[in-house]
Every structure is written in C-alpha cells, then in structure tokens.
Amino acid sequence: MARKFDVSVVVPMHNESANIPDTLEQIAAELCRTDHQFQIIAVDDGSTDDTARKLHSYAASNDWLTVISYQPNQGRGYAIRAGIEAASGEIICTTDADLSYSPDHLTRMIALLMKYDKLDCVVGSPYTEGGSTEDVPPFRLFISRLGNRIISRAIGGNIKTSTGVLRAYRRSCIKSLELFSSGKELHLEIISKLLAAGYSIMEMPATLRSRKKGTSKFRFRAIAASHLIFSMHEKPILLFGLIGLALIGLGLVGGGYIVYLWQSGTLNPNRPLMTLIVLFILTGIQILMFGFLGSGLAKLRKEIFVVQRENKMLEMKLDQWKETLETDAKSQPAIGSAAGHEQPEHQKAPVDYESSARLG
C-alpha cells in the first residue's frame, strides 16, 4: 500500500537543472515549518540537460522527494497530470520550478483549505485584489492580463487568473476529474471542469516574480493560439456571435444607405449593392445560429463532466473499500485445522456415497 501524506507538491520541470537545488530546498524548508507529512513530486518532462540526474541524486538522500522522468518532452500539462496521478497527499499543490511564486504561497494555500471545509481549490492570483507582479516584462504582463480577462469571460466563475500553475486542490476534488490536455491549456481545462462540476474555488493574492535562472518556456504564439482556441471552444458565441453581429450590422448599414439613395432619387437599380446587403444579413444570421448551437453543445459537454466526476468518485470509493478489505483480511489470523481440534462439519471432505454403496 502506498504511503499516505498530508500534502503533495507537484513541480513540473523541463531543462531546469539550474533551479533544482534552490527549488527543492526552499519548498522543503517551507513545508518543514508545518506539522504536515509531505512529499515533493518532481516531474522531469523529457529534459535534455542533466535535470534527471540531479533529481535522482537528491531523491537518494531525501525520502520526501519522488521523481518521475520520461522521454521525450510531452508538455507541462502532461507532466502535471503525471504528478497528480502519483500524488498520495490529501492536499495536492502545483507550482513552478523557477520559484516564480515563493514557497510560502504553498503553505498559505494549504492553510486556507485546512480552514474552510467547503473549499475545494485555491488559486494563487497576481491579478486579484492584493496580488502583484515584480520585474515581469511589460509585454508579457499585458498579454497575460488580456488573455486571462478573455478566458474569464469564456469559462465564467469570475476567476481573474486561470492560466497560472500555483494552485492547491483537495485530493478528492482533483482526482475526480478526467483530464486530457498536455500543454499549458491544462490549467484552463481544470478550472472549467471544476466550475462545471460545482466545486468551490477561491483566489488568493499572490506575487508573481520574473525568472532568475534558466530559460523561460513562454512562447507567445503557441500559448496565445491554444488559449484563444480553448476560449472559443468553451463559449462559441464569443467568436460566432461577434462575426455574425458584425455582418448583420454591415447589412443594416447598407440597407439604410439604400433607403437614403432611394429617398434622394439617386438609387441605381443596376448596382449589386442590394444583393451584397442581403448576403451580409443572411450570412450573419447563419453564423449567429452556429454560435447558439455551439453554446448548446458546450453546455451539454459540461453536463457530461458532472457524470464523469460522479463515475470517477465512485471508482475512488470502490478502490478505498478494496484496500480496506485487503487490510482487514491480512490482519485476521489464518483459519486452519489445529492439532487436537476436529474440523468443522462444512470443512470436512465430502463422502462419496455412490462408491460406498458399490463396495458394500
């Protein structure tokens, strides 16, 4: 049976050799200040430097460190999923390997989950009231704020930071979700499914700092594209509604212009303006209907999330019962035939009455 912990901290790593000593030691030192039994799960996501070697070296002398390593690189989402799957803590945290958020954020999130029984997830947010950023490049900060605002409109819940990795979950909460994303859009998938399943989320003010060591993994085009696609997937009406209304608006403006020409006596019936206006309006209505249809499908998909959550929780309960039964069976003394004791009737060998009759 796997060892149980109070807290598990998942740290995805890709070519983070320069950050390993400080990251592990500072997180461990912070958690040691509490009374919680903890484990740190470092996931080497297909690194090409000596990240894996350093991690295994640390794990050999620190029983609180668990290392998961694989090749090739699969993406941050895949690494976090692997870490969550291996975590056995009642509270499961995720954080960056470059200490963009100081380790004391972890203990603050854990304290909130311990304080509020009905709270399921805490999200560290530099964009909520009380949060802040330090030395983050202005362009990256602008893109991050804008992206989070768009995503918040798409998934709802008024979550101001949906893209950050700094989070703490109850085990029963995060383990009940079926997760599929392998990239950074996993953060969005988790928030979306938590809200759809009815879990409670709190944003905690956090301070985001720029990376001090190693190379940044921020890729604007790839991240922006994936997050925009996810937003449109969550709320199709944002895209189709905007385009549809724009086309209908152009059609109405064109119609007003035709009326003006007609009233002024300068309307030329040979011009294709009327046909263009009709096309604008009809196309806009069709695209708008696609948006409404997509929104209905998105709502149905969220209802499926709820069913998946219930099935996953039932599976987890069955696994717990199985472990309990196996533990009870091992703790009971073996039942057998002791010397000087007659076997119970139901354990005696059956008598072959047909053979006895033939011998008689």
pLDDT digits (tens, 9 = 90+) for 209-262: 987 665 665 565 666 666 677 767 777 777 788 888 899 999 899 888 888 888
Boundary of a domain, candidates 185, 219, 234: 234
DSSP state of 347: G
Residue 111: inside a domain:
yes
Q: Band of the pLDDT at 359, cuts 50, 70, 90? A: very low
Beta bridge partners of 260: none
Tell whether the model's pLDDT for residue 276 goes beyond 90. no
SS3 of residue 66 by DSSP: strand
The pLDDT value given to residue 10: 97
139 and 80 in a common domain: yes
Residue 165: inside a domain:
yes
181 and 47 in a common domain: yes
What's the domain count of the chain? Answer: 2
Tell whether the model's pLDDT for residue 204 goes beyond 80. yes
Residue 358: inside a domain:
no
The whole-model pTM stands at 0.73
Tell whether the model's pLDDT for residue 90 goes beyond 80. yes
Residue 332: inside a domain:
no
**Alpha-carbon gap, residue 211 to 19, rounded angstroms:** 10
**Alpha-carbon gap, residue 171 to 243, rounded angstroms:** 42
82 and 150 in a common domain: yes
The pLDDT value given to residue 107: 96
253 and 169 in a common domain: no
150 and 59 in a common domain: yes
Residue of 109, 122, 212, 186 lying closest to 159 (CA atoms): 122
Residue 176 vs residue 347, higher pLDDT: 176
Which two three-digit tokens encode residue 340? Answer: 């000087």
Tell whether the model's pLDDT for residue 1 goes beyond 60. no
Residue 50: inside a domain:
yes
**What mean pLDDT is predicted for residues 295-307?**
73
Q: Band of the pLDDT at 102, cuts 50, 70, 90? A: very high
Q: Band of the pLDDT at 37, cuts 50, 70, 90? A: very high
The pLDDT value given to residue 357: 39
Which two three-digit tokens encode residue 200? Answer: 């409670």
Residue 14: inside a domain:
yes
Residue 331: inside a domain:
no
97 and 138 in a common domain: yes
54 and 96 in a common domain: yes
Range of the domain at 55: 5-234
**Alpha-carbon gap, residue 275 to 296, rounded angstroms:** 32
230 and 252 in a common domain: no
Tell whether the model's pLDDT for residue 337 goes beyond 80. no
178 and 260 in a common domain: no
**Alpha-carbon gap, residue 252 to 248, rounded angstroms:** 6
147 and 24 in a common domain: yes
Return the top range by mean pLDDT from 108-122, 127-141, 152-166: 108-122
Boundary of a domain, candidates 206, 234, 262: 234
**What mean pLDDT is predicted for residues 155-165?**
86
- Alpha-carbon dihedral 244, 247, 249, 255, rounded to 10 degrees: -140
Tell whether the model's pLDDT for residue 2 goes beyond 80. no
The pLDDT value given to residue 50: 93
Tell whether the model's pLDDT for residue 170 goes beyond 50. yes
Return the top range by mean pLDDT from 108-112, 128-132, 147-151, 213-217: 108-112
CATH code for the domain of 186: 3.90.550.10
Residue 147, number of CB atoms within 10 A of its CB:
18
Boundary of a domain, candidates 199, 234, 269: 234
Residue 82: inside a domain:
yes
296 and 205 in a common domain: no
256 and 133 in a common domain: no
User: What's the chain's average pLDDT?
Assistant: 83
Instruction: Find out whether 36 and 7 touch, Cβ atoms under 8 Å.
Output: yes
